[in-house]
Amino acid sequence: MTALNSGVEARPPWWPVIAVIGVSLASLALAVLPLSGVTSPTEPLLIGGYVLGAIIAVGLMTVYRALKAQRRSKIFRPSPLRDRLTMTFTLLGVLGGLTCAFLLATEMAKGT
């Protein structure tokens, strides 16, 4: 007997939301470290920030939305908080990823 048939309310899972938050914060941290002068911008650091923010965060949001769509039924209860958290942190992750991509392109253009 599944949760959909047992009378238990089905809600979207938390794990993709938490993963998106973690990945997005890591991407933002990798973007802010070179900008604040804590570290010099290095290619692996910036590539890591880009991959985390622009690729993995978006992928995790896609997984969250797919799991949410899969669980729809008459007893499904949407969770606006999870939806907002996922969207907000995905956008922050993409911002961090794009910042890392810009810094990487700048460093490559300098030839250093």
Q: What is the pLDDT along the chain (112 residues), one digit of tens a residue?
A: 454 455 555 777 889 999 999 999 999 999 999 888 888 888 999 999 999 999 999 999 999 988 888 776 667 677 889 999 999 999 999 999 999 999 999 988 987 5
In a domain, 62, yes or no: yes
Domain count of the fold of the chain: 1
In a domain, 50, yes or no: yes
Retrieve residue 11's tokens: 């809600």
Residue 101 placed within a domain: yes
Question: Which tokens hold the place of 110?
Answer: 């300098």
Using CA atoms, how far residue 1 sits from 11, 41, 70, 78, in Å, is 17, 53, 16, 22
For residue 89, being part of any structural domain is answered with: yes
Question: Is 23 contained in some domain?
Answer: yes
User: What pLDDT was estimated at residue 112?
Assistant: 55
Q: Which of 57, 60, 64, 59 is nearest to 23 (CA)?
A: 57
- What does the pLDDT read at residue 32? 92
